[in-house]
Structure formats: structure tokens, C-alpha cells
Structure 1
Amino acid sequence: MHDIVKGRIAKKPLVVVSAFSGVTDKLIEAGNEALKGNLLTDILARRHRDMIDELQLPADTIEPELRELAMLLQGISYVGEFNTKIMDRLQSFGERMSSKVVAAYFTSRGMPSTAVNASKAGMQTNDHYGSAEITPETYGLLREGLSHASGIQVVTGFIGVTAKGNVTTLGRGGSDYTASIIGAALGADEIEIWTDVNGVMTADPRIVPEAMTLQTISFDEAAELAILGAKVLHPKTIRPAVKLDIPVRVLNTNNPSHPGTVILKESQNPNFFTGIAIRKDILLINITAAEMLGVPGFLEKLFGIFSRHEVSVDFIATSEVSLSLTIDKQAYTEEIAEELAALGKVSVHDDKAMVAV
């Protein structure tokens, strides 16, 4: 990462970081274990202290965060509560610690850097914990909040804060989303998303070894691929860039010389076929109801159920007296099942995947 950033010094880069590999999952595990009275603070601390020692950084680089983390886990253990609000606060420590380690490392290598907590720099969101959305004020707050730090700013991805000061997270792939939001707020010339593959490919190379890198695709194509299961980008990542027509370049950390894929407003891809995406953990719901026949308002009732529970419907197919639709498996709840049952006969199949061309 150091060499990548150093090669872009002339462009005055701002760096958005995720938690170190496996740390977010370990934090969630630590929260669940704290409910049982088991504190995993030492394991998390050792992982980061070992890295700090290896990089020869000051020993106290993240000690304030480790003390605060220990207090939070003790609080979970004492109170016996670990809800989504607390989980978001707990998960934020991954990015908070990684940003400090990365900034300290850059500084030690001759690139003065400052760790910036996005939740304190203007990344304001609603209170939908676990998958928060930014507020209309966020862009202006970020422009102001990021205008004072010196050197290279190393900003926490993934996390935000409500107007009341409660920490939130932006959901899976939220660090990419953070980069796009900040890029839009600052009017960046380009937003770079660094992954472990050579850009956006025609298929998942782990499944299709012959998959090829797409040199350019449009914002619409990238959004479709992301929503339909391509894991290179978070489905929301490019939304802020689309509004300001900022190019998004997807690159490979392990192969930084590869040009990757540039996502533009208008596609320059001459091929009729763009790619194949697969999305697993899909729930197929079939509903049969004689009341559908010639009765207006049935679909309005159906979509009203999913809207109230803030669940997105991916695909839907209808006939005169039945319909089928798909949603994410983890989004299905007992409350939704009860409301759907009131509309007709419901069958649910949870062993499905979706392949899109």
C-alpha cells in the first residue's frame, strides 16, 4: 500500500482503509462471547500489537482504542446486551485501529500522515444500524471536516455517526462506499477501489479461470453487476460518483501495474456481452392467491409488506393467480412470513442462487 500511495503523491491522495483481514469478524465474535462472560480483548490486542511491533511503530499507537474496546466488551458482559447499535460501535474499532496503524506506518516511511475517524469528520448517517445511509448534509460536513488535517489523510471506511452521536456502519463493502462518498464530497478527479482481482471481470475468476478484465464499463453496467452478485464492488459504491460523473477505477493491490477497469458514465465496451454474475443465499418466495385475479391493489399490498420491513425485492414474475419473487435470505423474518400468509398460500425455498447475464 505504501508504494501505491507514494506513486500518487503528486495527486494529493486521500486514503480510505478497511479493518485488517478477519478483524471485523473477530470483533463480532468478541461481542457474542462477551455475552457469555468471555472477554477476547487480549486476542484482538495481540493481533494489532504484533503488527505494530513488526512494522517498528510506537508501542502506544492504538492503546487508547484498545482501552476503549476493553471497556465496551466488559460493558456488554455486565449488561448482557449486544444489539445492532452496540454491534456497530464494536465493529468500528477495526477501522479506527487500522487507520492509526497505516497512518503511523506512512509517517515512519517519510510520508507524513494523519489518521481521521470518518464519524468525526462529517460522515453523518441515519440510524439504520448495520446498513446506514448518509444524510443530505454529509457532503458539506465532509468538505469541512476533511479540510484541516495535515499530510496524507488516512480515513476510516465503513463507519459513520448519527446526528445524535451514535456510531453506525454502512454495511458490507462499506469502505468502498466511504471512498466514493468522500471522493464526491471533495470533487476528486478519480476514485480508486483497490481489490484482489484485476478490475471488473467478465465472471468470477475463482469459478471461471478464463474470465477477462473489462477495460471500461458504464456506471449502469457496474451497478447491475454489483447488485446481481459481482463481489468486486459494493452495490452502493458508485452511486455518489454517478451523480458527479467521477470515474471509478478498480485495481488489484497484488498487481498494481495492471490498468484494471475504469467505470465511466457512458460505456466504451464494444461487446454486446458484459459479464456473468452469481448471487448466492437467495430466497425464492412463491405466493398463490385467487384474489389476484382481476383485483386491483394486490401488488401494492405485497410490496407494502417488504417496504415496511425495509427489504428489497430483486426479481418478480407474475401470472393470473400466482407470483414468484426473490430476496436476500437473511432479510426474511417471521414477521414478513406472517404478513405474506395473510395474502395467500406461501411456499419458501432457501437453497437457491441467481445467475445473471
Structure 2
Amino acid sequence: MQIWRFYLKKIVVKFGGSNLKTPEDIKNIIKVVKSYNRPLVIVVSAFFGVTNYLIDGISKVQTSINHIDEINSFIKGIKKEAINQHIEKKILQDEVFTKIEERLLELENCLRGIHYIGDVPDFVEDKVLSFGEKLSSLLLTAIFKHNGIDAEERLPEDMGFTTFGTFRNASIDYEVSMEGVNSALKEDKVYIVPGFYGISPKGRITLLGRGGSDYSAASFANLIDAESLDIWKDVDGYLSSDPKLIEKPVKIKNLSYREAAELSYFGAKILHPRTVEPLMKKSIPIRIFNITKENPTLIPLSIISHEEKILDSVIKSVTYSDNFSVLKLNGPGVGNKPGILGRVTTLLDDHDINILSVVTSGTSINIYLEDIDLKEATLLVEKANFHTITNIKPMDDLSIVAIVGEGILQHHGLVYKMLSSMNKEGINAKIISGGASEVAAYVVIETKFRNKTIKVIHDGFFYK
């Protein structure tokens, strides 16, 4: 029996797919949860690889009904292995596996519907992809109970975790969700909640964007006014750059909300880009931990908060993203003529093309897009035949390299220093931007120069 001290606020804890690769990982999660020794709200992702398998499966079942059995077998195998390793009594193993099969039957019915109509409606796709998380929460709740943790599963659809917006990329309606979520999570126990999705006002499952379990966890932290959002990863918190590219990156203990948001936007994979948004107004800190350490403790490796600390070097991290392209629209005065930018962005938005950023000049509009959208966006603008636009140039095989740190705008010469480091190595910047953000500046380069660019910029700021 667990004996907990009285706590005014709960902590929201997030375990992602990188924490759920093997049955051994579950043993580590159990240790961590017990070490808190207090009521928690735990938000979980799908087991590693399951969501990608479902995405691939949705495509295949349209033409092959036999692939439904393959999906079932794949998921059952993962869950059965975890059940057998962490639940000892056969009768209890069978009981949990029966519950898994019941939830899988619901998934199977969705997949059969896809096969029979030969299409994937948006609301069906979102429902199918939510099962990775729902199977995780069901399984972990059973395993926690067997290991002496007073745990209970709560599903977003059962507590009114309400969304607005489009399928695949919805947002949480905090005002509507507040009462139901707080009522559902009020007891002093460990609640297990599947991340990645909410429920529309019409009662349909809506995804919160790929990797949206972080955003789910942050939204629950907002709604219950949590003490903190604790995110367990398989890395040592935030670093001054990618350790795969930089031999000895510097550890970053503290970041501001703005710094963390920009690092996520520019490619750092610690947090989903929308994670910071629900926490800033309530000043709820985000604490980052590494579950793969031999004896993980509750001492955070990085803390994200409202504190906007400026380092002597100003720059805290050099990050990058390869997943973007630029649609360059040229023409005399195209950046100044009223309505042109609005018409182009409306056109792309109407076709569900996500615009990452826009940079304009007098004769050019540069629209930053994800790689997957560049071809369609180019065709749409060409077909629209905007008379002011005389040249349309799609640019791919590009990377953004960004420097991030509070105080960038107040300390002149940092962008020049970045460009000077690049120039010494003969690296040319296609686009330079400084000033759009108060804590970040970036260059656009050819991807083939990305690693070299990161190294020379990082060395220039951190290895003087």
C-alpha cells in the first residue's frame, strides 16, 4: 500500500516512444514512477514504432484485407511480451491480454471499414492512429497495478479533453476542457492518460499533430495547474548542439520558454514545438530527465521556465533543421504591394499546406514550407497566375542553422560573428535572418554544408 504525503499540486509526467522500446524500458519507468512517491498524471506515447506501423498499415489495408491480421499480430506480439515479463500470474496475464484484444477489435473494425470503402476519411485516420497511445495507457495501467502502484487509466474522450481546429493538427480548448479534466483527475492516485489526441465538440477523435503527446502533456499541466511538467527522454537534456555532430557539446541547465520554443521550431528534438505554449501564462516549469541513466534521479538535467537569463556568451545552442524548403516568389515590388502575400498564404492554407515562416523584401517573398509540401505549393501558385509574380523558384536540399539565446538582439555583432565563421570556411548563406525573433537568428544553406556550418559556428561561440 502506498502512503503519500499531502501535495497541493500534481506533477504531470510524460513518457515518450523512446522510453517504450523494450520490456526492460517498462521496468525503468516503474522505478521512476515509484521514486516520485506522490500522485501523478502520466501521459504516454505509443510504443516505439507502433504509430509508423499504423500509418503504413492504413495505406496497405485499402487494397489488402489480409494486412489487418498482420497489424493485429504485430501489436499483440509487442503487448504480450510486455505482459509476460511484468505480470507474473497467468490468470492476470490472460485478463490483461483480453482487454488488449477488446481494444484491438475496435481498431480492426476501423481498418475493415477503410478496406471496404477503399478510402481513409480524416476522422477515421485520426481514430486509427490514436490506438497506439490508447494501447500503451491500457497496458501500463495494468502493469503498474501489478507492481504496487495505485494507477487508473483515463481516456481523453471520457473526461472532455476537447479540441478545436482540423483533423491531424487540432488544438486544445482549455475553457471547455477545464471542468471535466479536473473532475476526472482529482483523486490522489497515479492516472495514466494516452497522449496525442483529444475529442472534437462532435465527439470525434482529433490528433494534436505528429509528436503531439508533448503538447497533450503540457495541456493537461495547464488544465490542472500542475507543479511542473516532467519529460523523460533518452538524452542528457538540452545541449549546445547535436552530440552526433559536436564531440563535446556543453550542457544547458536553464532555458527560457522562448529559447526552448525556438530550439524546437528550428529542429531540436527534445520537445514538440507547441509544448511551451500552454505553460507560459501559468509559469509552469518543464523539467527534462534522462531515463537511460544507470540510476535516474529526480534531479532535472534541464529546466525551462520564465527566467530569461542572458549568458556572457549569449548563445546557448546551435541547432538545425533539414525538413524544410523555400518557395521563392520574385517580382517588382511583390513584397510591398497590398494583398499579394495574403492571397498566396490563403491559397496555401485552403489546401492544408502549413507555412512555417515568411520572409519578404521589396522584390521577393520567401515562404518556408515542409519538404513534403513544396511541389504542391509550387503548382498551386503557378496555376493561380498572380500577375505581380514574375518568377517562381522552388528551393530544396536546404538546411536552416540557427543560433539561440536570450539577448541576441541586445548584443550586436553576433550574426556578423556567425557569418564571419562561415565565410572563413567558404560557406555561402542563401538567406540570412536576424530580428524576427528576440532570441534567435538563422542562416539558410545548402544541406551538403550543414555539418560543417554547425561545427564552425559552434566552435566560434563555445571554443574560443
Alignment TM-score, normalising by the size of structure 1: 0.92
Structure 2 partner of 1:290? 332
Determine if contact 1:215/1:269 at 8 Å carries over to the other structure.
no
Determine if contact 2:40/2:189 at 8 Å carries over to the other structure.
no
Tell which structure's C-alpha radius of gyration is larger. Answer: 2
How big is the shift at 1:213?
A: 2.0
1:29 aligns to 2:56 (yes or no) = yes
> Which range is displaced more, 239-248 or 112-121?
112-121
Determine if contact 2:325/2:397 at 8 Å carries over to the other structure.
yes
Structure 1 partner of 2:176? 137
1:352 aligns to 2:398 (yes or no) = yes
1:334 aligns to 2:376 (yes or no) = yes
Distance 2:330 2:144 in 1: 60
Structure 1 partner of 2:86? 55
Counterpart residue identity of residue 44, structure 1: I
1:263 aligns to 2:304 (yes or no) = yes
3-state SS of the aligned residue for 2:280? Answer: helix
Q: Deviations over 1:79-105 (max 9, x none)?
A: 212233212111111111111111111
How big is the shift at 1:185?
A: 0.7
1:196 aligns to 2:239 (yes or no) = no
How big is the shift at 1:285?
A: 1.2
Q: Kindly tell me: are residues 34 and 336 of structure 1, through their superposed partners in 2, closer, same or farther at Cα, counting changes over 3 Å?
A: same
Match 1:7 to one of 35, 38, 44: 35
Counterpart residue identity of residue 342, structure 1: N
Determine if contact 1:160/1:169 at 8 Å carries over to the other structure.
yes
Distance 2:365 2:378 in 1: 16
Q: Kindly tell me: are residues 100 and 317 of structure 1, through their superposed partners in 2, closer, same or farther at Cα, counting changes over 3 Å?
A: closer
Counterpart residue identity of residue 285, structure 2: P
Q: Kindly tell me: are residues 296 and 82 of structure 1, through their superposed partners in 2, closer, same or farther at Cα, counting changes over 3 Å?
A: closer
Structure 1 partner of 2:346? 304
Distance 2:86 2:335 in 1: 68
Determine if contact 2:335/2:341 at 8 Å carries over to the other structure.
no
Distance 1:293 1:93 in 2: 45
Distance 1:195 1:285 in 2: 35
Aligned residues: 355
Distance 1:3 1:15 in 2: 14
Determine if contact 2:353/2:377 at 8 Å carries over to the other structure.
no
Q: Kindly tell me: are residues 301 and 214 of structure 1, through their superposed partners in 2, closer, same or farther at Cα, counting changes over 3 Å?
A: same
Distance 2:372 2:305 in 1: 32
How big is the shift at 1:300?
A: 3.2
Q: Deviations over 1:211-263 (max 9, x none)?
A: 22211110011111111111100010111110101111111111223631110
Structure 2 partner of 1:78? 116
Distance 2:302 2:95 in 1: 39
> Which range is displaced more, 31-40 or 138-147?
138-147
Unpaired runs of 5+ in structure 2? 1-28, 404-464
Match 2:316 to one of 274, 283, 300: 274
How big is the shift at 1:301?
A: 2.9
Counterpart residue identity of residue 305, structure 2: L
1:91 aligns to 2:132 (yes or no) = no
Structure 2 partner of 1:177? 215
Unpaired runs of 5+ in structure 1? none
3-state SS of the aligned residue for 2:255? Answer: strand
Distance 1:181 1:317 in 2: 31
Match 1:233 to one of 263, 271, 284: 271
Determine if contact 1:26/1:44 at 8 Å carries over to the other structure.
no
Of all paired residues, the percent bearing the same amino acid is 28
Determine if contact 1:112/1:152 at 8 Å carries over to the other structure.
yes
How big is the shift at 1:73?
A: 1.7
Q: Kindly tell me: are residues 180 and 260 of structure 1, through their superposed partners in 2, closer, same or farther at Cα, counting changes over 3 Å?
A: same
Structure 2 partner of 1:158? 196
